[in-house]
Amino acid sequence: MGAGDVEMNQMVGSASRYEAADATGSIHIAVNRRALVLSVSITEGWRKKLAPDQFADALLGAYREALQTAISAADSGASGRPANQAIAKILRDYDDDDVHADWYTGVRAKLDRIRQRRKAIKEYAAEARGGLLDREVRGPNGYLTFQVRRGVLVGVTAAVPALRSASTDLLREDAMAAFRAANLAAEL
């Protein structure tokens, strides 16, 4: 990441929107604190800085930079991700001991709480994984295809010949629709 990229990757507003761009500054992606895509913008002159066969990698790079910006903000205490908050809630009072009349009742109650929390964590993990295994998601205009594994965007491919003449608006719409279809976009 070059010195100019630092300006592109920033927290905006009240730390609920995090923006980043690819190395050329042609593709900008904004995510929320839950790392869900809020917007994709593509500059009109992107073809002057980025060859069509480089577009997919640049889009993925901008997305990863936006995620990293949001994660860095969360790590620095700005906000936690919902998954971390849910697990923290489950584990929050793990060591709290209720006052019990005898030792055996206290140990038994603590073991029951541990079993309940383990069950809740397993249910949460199963719900989070549900329907998010390996798949491909295509944008409605056919410009972009996203490869998603376990709910994580791991690759982007593009129909390079079509990108040469694609309008910037249709390309942006295709990217946003693909993020939505992959369950990686925020509900607006």
pLDDT recorded at residue 29:
97
**Which distant-in-sequence residues (6+ apart) come within 8 Å of 43 by Cβ?**
25, 26, 27, 28, 49, 168
> From residue 78, how far is each of 6, 17, 66, 73, 131 by CA, in Å?
19, 12, 15, 5, 30
pLDDT at 6: 36
pLDDT single digits (tens) 95-135: 444 554 577 777 788 888 888 888 777 776 666 655 555 78
Q: Where is pLDDT greater, at 73 or 83?
A: 73
Tens-place pLDDT, residues 14-24? 458 999 999 99
Please give the model's pTM, rounded to 2 decimal places: 0.66
pLDDT in tens, 134-164: 789 999 999 999 999 878 899 999 999 999 9
- Rounded Cα distance between 21 and 15, Å, is 17
Identify whether the C-beta of residue 79 lies closer than 8 Å to the C-beta of residue 15. yes
